[in-house]
Structure 1
Amino acid sequence: MTASDALLSRLMALHPKVIDLSLDRMHRLLAALDHPERRIPPVIHIAGTNGKGSTQAMIRAGLQAGGARVHAYTSPHLAQFRERIRLAGELIDDQALADTLAECEAANDGQPITFFEITTAAAFLAFSRTPADYTLLEVGLGGRLDATNVIDAPRLTVITPVSIDHTQYLGDTLPLIAAEKAGILKPRVPVVIAPQQDAALRVIEARAMGLSAPILAHGQHWMIQPERDGMVFQDDHGLWDLPRPNLIGPHQIQNAGTALAALRALGATEAQARAAVTEAEWPARMQRLRHGPLVDLAGASELWLDGGHNPAGGQALAATLAAMPVRPTHLICGMLNTKDVAGYLRPLAAEAQSLTAIDIPGEPNTLPASATAEAAASVGLATRTAPDAAAALRGLTDNAPGARILICGSLYLAGRILRENG
């Protein structure tokens, strides 16, 4: 157990029994800490349903290629909590994380606060004490009432594609969810808007116009287009002829476009744009696993990992599989009980020969493997269950040697797989 692990466990105990999305607890704690959020480098604030992490990773790669020091905050983590906080490009040191969390715990003085709120406050405190040129903030849930939404005047806001997810908190229609995401917009602060469904775009643009926030929207102010083996980004300032993103999947082209539009707004060069799309790193987004005990179990089969978990994520993953070389594909899937499982799996049914359902180990909100299998069968996938990923792999390598095996359905599962695989 690391120095921060015991603290993180203790902080979970402060979590209210019912989460009410509110900024009151966050404002109280930040005041007790003397407002570190007011002393951090200029903020690029990113909200949306899908693509936030990939877009942030590309913006970070582009800024760093220009010599900038960049803080970054993202969630959830995969293998270890400190992945959530990067200080001037480097993951926060575990002892520094523990010390910062302890300071936030003392300032909170035992009052109710969510785990995400107090750890976000810790990130702000760490950011305020380390020199940097930019701070990239990824929203945790929604936007309007998210713990990150305490920055009065960010340098730039970004809205990635909005789709249906977290309906218990954000509403059950696209306009309602888009309104929550658009809650990060601030007066006169430019907003980059990724490709959106019309119902979401109307809400975001209306919010921006009401705040006199300059709009940089896909299809109106910038375009991204695949071309031969590369892609072309174009806006009012000109054209960038670039390689395809090193992050795999057709959807990464639109994520790249969003990142490039943000970089253009920040004055980036074409060299920085090239670095953004060729040097970004973002694990568990259609990641090929090449070494480790689970790879050994896969034998002659390819082993892939993806953390997408909602219907839009399933569509993106299906499009990625469809664009790959033809090879029999088998899924190992574990999901949370809060997700639209059939909606996620429906587009994948056309690309996979089978699905082996598993529980997410150690996750109280896991959907039972039997329920995942039932949902998979309802959309036409041949299904079975297994007690864990290792058992699922053994079953597949015995029956489908040389296949493409994709472990998918949840970032929480992806994190467990990365830890198991070393």
Structure 2
Amino acid sequence: MMTTRADREIARLMTLHPKGFDLSLGRIRRLLERLGNPQDRLPPVIHIAGTNGKGSAAAFSRALLEAGGLRTHVHTSPHLVAWNERYRIGAEGGGRFVSDDVFADAIARVAAANAGETITVFEILTAVSFVLFAEHPADAAVIEVGLGGRFDATNVVKRPAVAVIMPISLDHQAYLGDRVELIAAEKAGIMKPGVPVVIGQQDSDLVREVLIETADRLECPVLTYGQDFLGFSENGRFIYQDDDGLMDLPLPRLPGRHQLANAAAAIAAVKAAGFAIGHPAAERAMTSVEWPGRMQRLAYGRLVDLAPDGSELWVDGGHNPGAGVAVAEALAEQEERFPRPLFLICGMISTKDQTNYFRAFDGMARHVFTVPVNSSEAGVPNAELAARAAEAGLSAEPVNSVADALMLLADTWEDTETPPRILICGSLYLVGEVLAENGTPPA
């Protein structure tokens, strides 16, 4: 892949500043002050935290706002193939990833303002998002939290239009705590006094209680999934319900039952932020929403051509047990409609709960091929990952690459068998590698 000017700027920052996360707000506030506090000049902000589903909620929020004709900035992380995927600049007719020249210029200005002081690259790149969004007119901004909430670099917006907390489960325990109630307290840190809060579907009553208690203490209006709003399927349609009544909509383009709850949270959030949602706009949003690398079906490309003829090839970057359950449920729905033998091609990093991720697929997957994650220093060796899959009761073997796994399947597949359903999964790093190799990067 060609190296861009922005890539070179970021590579230079990587050599100067520490990698990883250092959860505090003092450094980024100091930097933003030098930049004239661009975070205070943003359009209304929808601020989204959570363990799973926050990217989907951001995608649905963007789709809803753009379907209503609103220019919408979007900041998400991580990227899959190119750094500029993190910054979608709002425009008439739909936002676009920031151009390389504009991106590189913003990085250089932010780095110059930091003047070599200690800071993480993530903090600099978050400051870049505020600079870009303040300098380009828009009607709304959707900002996804990077890690946690309370001390995440995005949590310097003094008064967002709404704070959204998506499903919370165990992840990043080294930073956020090893109990879900501790993680919930960190995520709840994006709540601001008096600002509306939308609480998405939660599996844990304890998590829900922590979030509601925090919102009540801050005197925030609260909308809770299952109590104040709801999303469900009925007769092949998506029904959204809240105190204003029902909306009868097409099923979301993003597959999986969990996406109904994600879509419902986004509708509630956009309304709570003060934006009207007309029924035609909501219909357009459900059929146009895109979220690359999350239960994304690859219809063509270099890797698709290596699979057995007629195969379904999917990618999903979910990497914790909660995500595994959601993806397994989405695949079970596909199996009900169109039965096919399921194979996994999986790569994961060492900070994730690999065995419990695999448990979600017990009884579903015929076989797992484990592969290295070459773009991360924390990738689990493929032989070790195969052992983790075996611990979860799955048949597994290590192979050298996704391409090798696909060719092995193609070489051994009988023409008389139904073509397989293949899921490449376990890491956003791996998904990014696959989308680049397949020739289908996000756009």
Per the normalisation by structure 2, the TM-score is: 0.93
Kept in 2, the 8 Å contact 1:14–1:113? The answer is no
Per-residue deviation, 1:400:
3.5
Counterpart secondary structure, 2:394: coil
Name the structure 2 match of 1:406. Answer: 423
In 2: Cα distance, 1:83 partner to 1:20 partner? 23
Per-residue deviation, 1:17:
6.1
Matched to 1:48, the amino acid is G
Pairing of 1:37-76 with structure 2 (within 5 A): 37-76=39-78
Name the structure 1 match of 2:152. Answer: 146
Kept in 2, the 8 Å contact 1:263–1:273? The answer is no
Matched to 1:113, the amino acid is I
Q: Bigger CA drift: 44-53 or 268-277?
A: 268-277
In 1: Cα distance, 2:183 partner to 2:406 partner? 38
Matched to 2:293, the amino acid is A
Q: Deviations over 1:133-165 (max 9, x none)?
A: 001000000000000000010011111111111
Change (3 A) 1:376 1:241: same
Where structure 1 has 5 or more consecutive residues not aligned to the other structure, the ranges are: none
Q: Deviations over 1:241-278 (max 9, x none)?
A: 11111001111111111111113323222222222221
In 2: Cα distance, 1:167 partner to 1:44 partner? 26
In 2: Cα distance, 1:13 partner to 1:267 partner? 46
1:290 aligns with 2:299: yes
Kept in 1, the 8 Å contact 2:74–2:89? The answer is yes
Kept in 2, the 8 Å contact 1:14–1:114? The answer is no
Name the structure 2 match of 1:359. Answer: 372
Q: Bigger CA drift: 16-25 or 49-58?
A: 16-25
Matched to 2:211, the amino acid is I
Kept in 1, the 8 Å contact 2:308–2:413? The answer is no
Residue 241 of structure 1: which of 248, 261, 285 is its match? 248
Matched to 1:183, the amino acid is G
Counterpart secondary structure, 1:13: helix
In 2: Cα distance, 1:216 partner to 1:41 partner? 22
Counterpart secondary structure, 2:163: strand
Pairing of 1:379-394 with structure 2 (within 5 A): 379-394=392-407
Kept in 2, the 8 Å contact 1:232–1:239? The answer is yes
In 1: Cα distance, 2:19 partner to 2:139 partner? 38
Change (3 A) 1:125 1:220: same
Residue 328 of structure 1: which of 341, 358, 381 is its match? 341
Name the structure 1 match of 2:437. Answer: 420
Counterpart secondary structure, 1:350: coil
Name the structure 1 match of 2:183. Answer: 177
Matched to 2:402, the amino acid is A
1:112 aligns with 2:118: yes
Matched to 1:284, the amino acid is G
Q: What is the percentage of aligned positions where both structures have the same residue? A: 50
Where structure 2 has 5 or more consecutive residues not aligned to the other structure, the ranges are: none
Per-residue deviation, 1:239:
0.8
CA RMSD, Structure 1 to Structure 2 (Å) = 1.1
Per-residue deviation, 1:286:
1.0
Name the structure 1 match of 2:210. Answer: 203
Change (3 A) 1:74 1:17: closer
1:23 aligns with 2:37: no
In 1: Cα distance, 2:59 partner to 2:385 partner? 31
Kept in 1, the 8 Å contact 2:375–2:430? The answer is no
Name the structure 1 match of 2:359. Answer: 346
Matched to 1:222, the amino acid is F
In 2: Cα distance, 1:111 partner to 1:133 partner? 34
Counterpart secondary structure, 1:177: helix
Per-residue deviation, 1:11:
1.1
Change (3 A) 1:108 1:403: same
Q: Deviations over 1:46-85 (max 9, x none)?
A: 0001011111111111111111100000000011110100
Kept in 2, the 8 Å contact 1:14–1:111? The answer is no
Per-residue deviation, 1:361:
1.5
Kept in 2, the 8 Å contact 1:232–1:242? The answer is yes
Counterpart secondary structure, 1:293: coil
Counterpart secondary structure, 1:353: strand
1:319 aligns with 2:319: no
Matched to 1:410, the amino acid is S
Q: Deviations over 1:190-233 (max 9, x none)?
A: 01111112111000001100110000111111111210101211
Counterpart secondary structure, 2:156: coil
Pairing of 1:183-194 with structure 2 (within 5 A): 183-194=189-200
Q: Bigger CA drift: 167-176 or 362-371?
A: 362-371
Pairing of 1:250-329 with structure 2 (within 5 A): 250-265=257-272, 266-300=275-309, 301-324=311-334, 325-329=338-342
Counterpart secondary structure, 2:58: helix
Counterpart secondary structure, 1:305: strand
Kept in 2, the 8 Å contact 1:248–1:285? The answer is no
Counterpart secondary structure, 2:17: coil
In 1: Cα distance, 2:148 partner to 2:16 partner? 22
In 1: Cα distance, 2:371 partner to 2:192 partner? 43
Per-residue deviation, 1:94:
0.6
Change (3 A) 1:132 1:360: same
Name the structure 2 match of 1:2. Answer: 4
Change (3 A) 1:220 1:362: closer
Pairing of 1:80-159 with structure 2 (within 5 A): 80-88=82-90, 89-159=95-165
How many residues align structurally? 422
1:167 aligns with 2:184: no
